[in-house]
Amino acid sequence: TLPTTLNGNTMLLITMDTASEVENDCKVNKVGHSHSHDSWPLCLVEISLDVDADRDGQVERNNPNKGSWMWGPNGHGAILLVNCDSERTYGKSICEMSDLKDMSPMVLRTSGPAKLPAGYKLTMHISQGDAESVRVFRTRSTSFVKDYPLVLGSEDLSKEVPYLGGNAEMNFYVEGLRFPDIDFEGLISISLSLLEPSSQGFPETPIFTDRVVFRVAPWIMTPNTLNPVEVFICSTSDNYQFLKGMKRLVENSGYKLKVCHEYMNRGDRWMQDEIEFGYIDSPHQRFPVVLDSPRDGELQDFPYDVLLGPDFGYVTRTAYDEEVSSLDSFGNLEVSPPVIVNGKIYPLGRIIIGVAFPTATKGRNMTKVVQDFLWAQKVQEPIALFSDWLLVGHVDEFMTFVPAADKKGFRLLLASPDAGYKLFRGLQKDGHGQAKMFDGLGAEEEITVDEILSDDKLRAENNYVQSCIDWNRDVLKRELGLDDDDIIDLPILFHVMEENRAVAYYPDMVNMIVLGKNLGIPKPFGPKVDGRCALEAEMTSLMEGLGLSCTYIDDFASYHKLLGEVHCGSNVRREPFSFKWWNLEM
């Protein structure tokens, strides 16, 4: 009961323990001076728009943190997947029931009378800015069938939703439409308001709003230290030797091999350059997603026509106003294993790309649309290396990572002309100066150790290459928190071609495929000592110390002569990280 002595600035907060069972079943009395009683009817309705804000895979009731998003193991906020697999919905309703598991559940929970007081209604709404990034569907049951009509999207920013009455739950399914990017941080909010009628001729006004926040899951790359699932290579008219070696390696390693045949690849053998495998993850669903490069060679249809499928997503970035260069191929896109740098933990590793040297005025770079996309994912903060000194220009031509049981759990392998010259000088000193490179590949290819060491031009070219690699070595040590003991130098020489850009002088052993403890390495055709290739012997010795097994694959004619190697011609889909990206401390 309220006294009449309240002044005009008083605000009353009236609470009730339970929701109304029938309309206007409660009232507030006002006591007048004449002891006559006036009263106002009250109807209490409990409304809660709920999501999986604690990230345990279940939609809890009215989590106090559901309206904000925070990183970390003690963080909160729901997670949304981009529905980028082949089941994704294009129309005004969901056609594939399997599509529901790719969407994030959202539940409207209400408690109250069988119907709202006259003129009151519930409305769900999103902002204009979020409309291109999200769609919301709801469950609707009829006497014959259950369907899932579209509630919110780019054409419907606001829509009335039914009030079911009593203690009820209505299920919604939220679909992400785009990945984080330079113009989209990845956060989306959805609101539900209770509207009350105004005076006749005026629109309803909100008296209560509940709000939930989602973050769109980032696209995540997988480093060489994660277990392989399947290996992809191309079959062409001239790569039989390569194909045979790769089939044997993959079979012996116990993984699946998928061969893209010539009717699909149309002679484009560079499987690494066309695509990069990654994945997206949430508490309720996870699936692989392939990133399609803007290079668009003859393999351009493969990722969309072959890989895209149920629970296998696809994303690309198109460089409409930019010139696409060789640096846009994904041999120029790698990722490190997890690292700790000056106390900062990168549990998902760091993306590595190659660009022009910082002081270059006319250098080649990876297109801005791809770089913007990679940086916007946030969880694998990229590192830019200098790769434009190479004719092809890919970081995989001078570096890779292999697993190791000690230290940081991996080693960085770097191509090293200095290590190459050291090995050749050692051979010469031991009396093997007449041993021939490229033995068995034809007389026009053969060259002796003595001839290599006496070639001053080649030595000068490799001094330049070594300085380029050393610059990158310093960047990698600083950005990945590495010591010299974490790096292994591989004996690889280069040859400088037009525009002072380099290519590998012999098959580039760092351009390998890593399958667990088994490495598929380009066969270098080095000088033989006692019948064994000296380059293979050195490489095997270095890798055996890490418990890794080396298989040498002949890619000389079908890849090396075309300026690529084993890694360029293959691709590996790997298992995802066990670490959950939302637990990152940002």
Alpha carbons 38 and 31: distance in angstroms, whole number:
7
Do 422 and 500 lie in a common domain?
A: yes
Give residue 11's pLDDT band: very low, low, confident or very high (50, 70, 90).
low
Long-range contact list for 420-425, CB < 8 A, 24+ apart?
420/462, 420/491, 420/492, 420/493, 421/453, 421/459, 421/462, 421/493, 422/491, 423/491, 423/534, 423/535, 423/538, 424/449, 424/452, 424/453, 424/527, 425/453
The total number of structural domains that make up the chain: 3
**Which distant-in-sequence residues (6+ apart) come within 8 Å of 485 by Cβ?**
407
Give residue 34's pLDDT band: very low, low, confident or very high (50, 70, 90).
very low
Check 43, 260, 533, 568 and give the catalytic one: 568
Give residue 144's pLDDT band: very low, low, confident or very high (50, 70, 90).
low
- Is the model more confident about 173 or about 28? 173
Alpha carbons 18 and 524: distance in angstroms, whole number:
79
The DSSP 8-state label assigned to residue 181 in this structure reads B
**Which distant-in-sequence residues (6+ apart) come within 8 Å of 13 by Cβ?**
none
Tens-place pLDDT, residues 282-303: 999 999 999 999 998 899 999 9
Flag whether pLDDT at 112 surpasses 50.
yes
pTM of the model: 0.93
Radius of gyration of the chain (CA): 31
Tens-place pLDDT, residues 196-231: 988 787 888 899 999 999 999 999 999 999 999 999
Flag whether pLDDT at 93 surpasses 80.
no
Do 557 and 478 lie in a common domain?
A: yes
Tens-place pLDDT, residues 71-80: 999 999 999 9
Give residue 29's pLDDT band: very low, low, confident or very high (50, 70, 90).
low
> Last residue of a domain, which of 216, 244, 267?
216
Give residue 17's pLDDT band: very low, low, confident or very high (50, 70, 90).
confident
Do 208 and 260 lie in a common domain?
A: no
Alpha carbons 373 and 371: distance in angstroms, whole number:
5
Give residue 16's pLDDT band: very low, low, confident or very high (50, 70, 90).
low
Flag whether pLDDT at 195 surpasses 50.
yes
Average pLDDT on 257-267 reads 95
Q: What is the CATH number of the domain that holds 179?
A: 2.60.40.1700
Average pLDDT on 152-167 reads 93
Do 17 and 75 lie in a common domain?
A: no
Q: In what order do the strands lie in the sheet with 351-355?
A: 333-335, 351-355, 383-386
Average pLDDT on 454-482 reads 98
Which pLDDT score, from 0 to 100, does residue 23 have?
A: 63
Do 298 and 413 lie in a common domain?
A: yes
Which residues lie across from 212 on neighbouring strands?
Answer: 190
Average pLDDT on 542-564 reads 97
Do 265 and 378 lie in a common domain?
A: yes
Flag whether pLDDT at 57 surpasses 60.
yes
C-alpha atoms less than 13 angstroms from C-alpha of 426 in its C-beta half-sphere: 12
Tens-place pLDDT, residues 508-536: 999 999 999 999 999 999 999 999 999 99
Share of the chain above pLDDT 90, in %: 79
Average pLDDT on 259-268 reads 94
Q: What is the CATH number of the domain that holds 455?
A: 3.75.10.10
Do 91 and 137 lie in a common domain?
A: yes
The packing angle between helices 417-429 and 456-480, to 10°, is 130
Domain of residue 327 covers 220-583
Which pLDDT score, from 0 to 100, does residue 86 have?
A: 82
> Last residue of a domain, which of 159, 182, 216?
216
Give the sign of the dihedral formed by CA 411, CA 413, CA 417, CA 423: positive
Average pLDDT on 59-65 reads 96
User: What are the strands, taking DSSP E only, across 301-361?
Assistant: 313-316, 333-335, 339-341, 344-346, 351-355
In the numeric block, which tokens belong to residue 218? Answer: 């980032």
**Which distant-in-sequence residues (6+ apart) come within 8 Å of 90 by Cβ?**
none
Q: What are the angstrom distances between the C-alpha of 32 and each of 12, 110, 122? A: 18, 36, 36
Tens-place pLDDT, residues 343-394: 999 999 999 999 998 877 789 999 999 999 999 999 999 999 999 999 999 9
Do 238 and 324 lie in a common domain?
A: yes
SS3 79: strand
Average pLDDT on 137-142 reads 82
Do 61 and 28 lie in a common domain?
A: no
Tens-place pLDDT, residues 416-437: 999 999 999 999 999 999 999 9
Q: Chain-wide mean pLDDT for the chain?
A: 92
Which pLDDT score, from 0 to 100, does residue 339 have?
A: 98
Which pLDDT score, from 0 to 100, does residue 20 have?
A: 66
Give residue 33's pLDDT band: very low, low, confident or very high (50, 70, 90).
very low
Give the sign of the dihedral formed by CA 91, CA 97, CA 100, CA 106: positive
550 catalytic? Reply is no
Do 295 and 275 lie in a common domain?
A: yes
- Is the model more confident about 28 or about 122? 122
Do 188 and 231 lie in a common domain?
A: no
Do 348 and 274 lie in a common domain?
A: yes
Q: How many CB atoms lie within 10 A of CB 211?
A: 14
